[in-house]
């Protein structure tokens, strides 16, 4: 007993100490919120090196190298060091350490769900004054994609890697059965009835599947039904409101009728993909980053449709921005800003999208000759761009990731145990409010 007490005491002391060290030095160093003007643009061509910390996978490496080369042609005095820092989670952990050590890279990726956390702590450079100084035409960006990286009316980074959830369907099967992908929730019942096949009580073919393993896939369903995940001030959970619960009640109904497949837990994604390829599911909701992969892998014709809508018709963004860190020298900021503009610029937008498999972000790029050629090659992407401005960011609360675990669990209980959505979501809302209160 005595020993245990000692242990607990010591460990707690160490934890507190280390977290104190971590926190005390991670307070923002040079944030000046009232400063709304950028230093005047200077034509300083003294050589400068900036680091770009990224989470780009191997298959995006060639596109990245190509972009850096092009950038160097344009700005020969700026050297960009690209440093791979693992996946988004590891990159963020390392970024936090770097902030504490006051040795930050000039440019970094910020995953879209992590933006509020980083923006809130004042470690990212506010790009707004630079945007207005250099008269960057922000209207050329998809409105939703741009707004996803603003926080309290300030722009902290520009969209770089953008994906969104789409409906990928088996076009060959749809043509045979004479169905079209549903565009509204009202059309789903009829669509699913036609496509679902049963052997006795066993479902041998589901009409469609929505992933339950990550809230990202059903978050837009909550909002499209007229509901919300969090209140506008981000302080209360809205998941227990009638409009917010509508989607899950429908999901349960569709699931019970055998229309709908919902994957949950480890391996669910692989399972869903396999069932789709085997023709056991007609249509799956998945990330647009995989459209090309679906087209290449499937032995049938693949079509893509935007998420069906009800009161709204939105879809949520995934991916990351490219952002500038605060706490670097002024000439580095200037170079970093040039790099950020170049990486997100309209001139290379299509090439970047093609090289990485992510979505173009610029309206002018889409309507350019290059853009037209891209759509001719991949007509499947058109479904996304017809709804370009409806691709929006997730709720901007620093506690969102933590809070979303509560209703992800609710989805799991509905899928696995067939529990009642209303009770589940009311419980989830209580848990979420507890988490939000601590913020």
> Looking at 59, 65, 134, 386, which residue binds other proteins (CB under 8 A)?
59
If one asks whether residue 90 binds other proteins (CB under 8 A), the answer comes out as yes
Report residue 392: phi and psi, to 5°: -120, 165
Minimum distance of other proteins from residue 289's CB (angstroms): 6
To the nearest 10°, the Cα dihedral for 346, 352, 357, 361?
-20
Return the bridge partners of 81, or none.
51
Are 218 and 212 in contact by the 8 Å Cβ rule? The answer is yes
For other proteins, give the closer residue by CB, 287 or 404. Answer: 287
Nearest of 397, 355, 353 to residue 371 by alpha carbon: 353
d(CA 99, CA 42): 28
If one asks whether residue 62 binds other proteins (CB under 8 A), the answer comes out as no
By three-state DSSP, how is residue 164 classified? Answer: strand
d(CA 386, CA 384): 6
If one asks whether residue 27 binds other proteins (CB under 8 A), the answer comes out as no
CA 397 to chain centre: 14
Minimum distance of other proteins from residue 14's CB (angstroms): 6
Minimum distance of other proteins from residue 44's CB (angstroms): 26
Strands 48-54, 107-111: pairing is parallel
> What is the contact mask toward other proteins in residues 206 to 225, using x (rule: CB under 8 A)?
--------------------
Return the bridge partners of 54, or none.
84
Residue range at the interface with other proteins (CB under 8 A); choices 50-58, 201-209, 334-342, 382-390:
50-58
For other proteins, give the closer residue by CB, 10 or 416. Answer: 10
> Looking at 75, 264, 293, 378, which residue binds other proteins (CB under 8 A)?
293
Count of H helices and E strands in the chain? 19, 13
d(CA 350, CA 266): 34
For other proteins, give the closer residue by CB, 15 or 36. Answer: 15
If one asks whether residue 277 binds other proteins (CB under 8 A), the answer comes out as yes
Strands 202-209, 281-287: pairing is parallel
If one asks whether residue 172 binds other proteins (CB under 8 A), the answer comes out as no
**# residues contacting other proteins (CB under 8 A):** 48
Minimum distance of other proteins from residue 297's CB (angstroms): 5
If one asks whether residue 22 binds other proteins (CB under 8 A), the answer comes out as yes
Return the bridge partners of 309, or none.
184
If one asks whether residue 6 binds other proteins (CB under 8 A), the answer comes out as yes
If one asks whether residue 101 binds other proteins (CB under 8 A), the answer comes out as yes
For other proteins, give the closer residue by CB, 84 or 422. Answer: 84
Are 165 and 300 in contact by the 8 Å Cβ rule? The answer is no
Q: What element of type H or E holds 416?
A: helix 400-417
If one asks whether residue 33 binds other proteins (CB under 8 A), the answer comes out as no
Task: Name the DSSP class of 27.
Answer: S
If one asks whether residue 77 binds other proteins (CB under 8 A), the answer comes out as no
Interface positions with other proteins (CB under 8 A): 3, 6-7, 10-11, 14-15, 17-19, 21-22, 25-26, 51, 55, 57-59, 83-88, 90, 93-94, 96-98, 100-103, 163, 269-270, 274, 277-278, 287, 289-290, 293, 297, 318-319
């Amino acid at each position: 007993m005595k020993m245990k007490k000692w242990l607990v005491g010591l460990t707690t002391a160490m934890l507190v100490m280390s977290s104190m060290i971590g926190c005390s030095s991670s307070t923002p160093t040079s944030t000046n919120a009232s400063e709304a003007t950028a230093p005047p643009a200077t034509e300083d061509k003294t050589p400068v090196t900036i680091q770009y910390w990224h989470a780009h996978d191997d298959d995006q490496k060639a596109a990245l190298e190509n972009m850096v080369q092009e950038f160097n042609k344009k700005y020969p005095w700026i050297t960009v060091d690209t440093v791979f820092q693992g996946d988004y989670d590891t990159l963020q952990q390392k970024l936090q350490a770097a902030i504490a050590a006051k040795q930050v890279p000039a440019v970094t990726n910020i995953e879209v769900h992590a933006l509020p956390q980083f923006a809130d702590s004042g470690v990212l450079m506010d790009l707004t004054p630079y945007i207005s100084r250099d008269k960057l035409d922000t209207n050329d960006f998809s409105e939703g994609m741009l707004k996803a990286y603003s926080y309290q009316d300030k722009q902290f980074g520009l969209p770089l890697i953008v994906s969104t959830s789409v409906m990928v369907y088996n076009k060959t099967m749809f043509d045979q059965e004479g169905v079209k992908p549903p565009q509204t929730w009202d059309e789903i019942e009829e669509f699913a009835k036609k496509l679902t096949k049963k052997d006795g009580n066993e479902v041998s073919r589901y009409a469609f599947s929505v992933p339950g393993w990550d809230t990202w896939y059903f978050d837009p369903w909550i909002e499209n039904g007229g509901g919300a995940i969090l209140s506008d001030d981000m302080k209360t959970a809205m998941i227990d409101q009638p409009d917010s619960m509508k989607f899950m009640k429908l999901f349960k109904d569709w699931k019970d009728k055998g229309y709908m497949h919902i994957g949950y837990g480890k391996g669910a994604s692989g399972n869903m993909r396999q069932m789709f390829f085997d023709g056991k599911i007609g249509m799956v909701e998945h990330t647009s980053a995989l459209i090309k992969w679906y087209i290449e892998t499937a032995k049938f014709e693949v079509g893509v449709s935007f998420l069906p809508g009800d009161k709204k018709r939105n879809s949520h963004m995934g991916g990351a921005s490219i952002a500038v860190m605060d706490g670097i020298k002024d000439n580095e900021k200037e170079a970093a800003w040039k790099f950020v503009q170049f990486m997100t610029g309209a001139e290379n937008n299509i090439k970047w999208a093609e090289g990485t498999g992510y979505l173009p972000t610029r309206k002018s790029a889409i309507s350019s000759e290059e853009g037209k050629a891209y759509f001719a090659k991949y007509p499947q992407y058109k479904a996304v761009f017809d709804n370009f401005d409806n691709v929006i960011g997730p709720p901007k609360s620093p506690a969102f990731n933590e809070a979303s675990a509560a209703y992800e669990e609710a989805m799991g209980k509905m899928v696995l145990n067939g529990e009642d959505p209303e009770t589940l979501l009311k419980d989830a809302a209580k848990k979420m409010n507890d988490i939000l209160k601590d913020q």
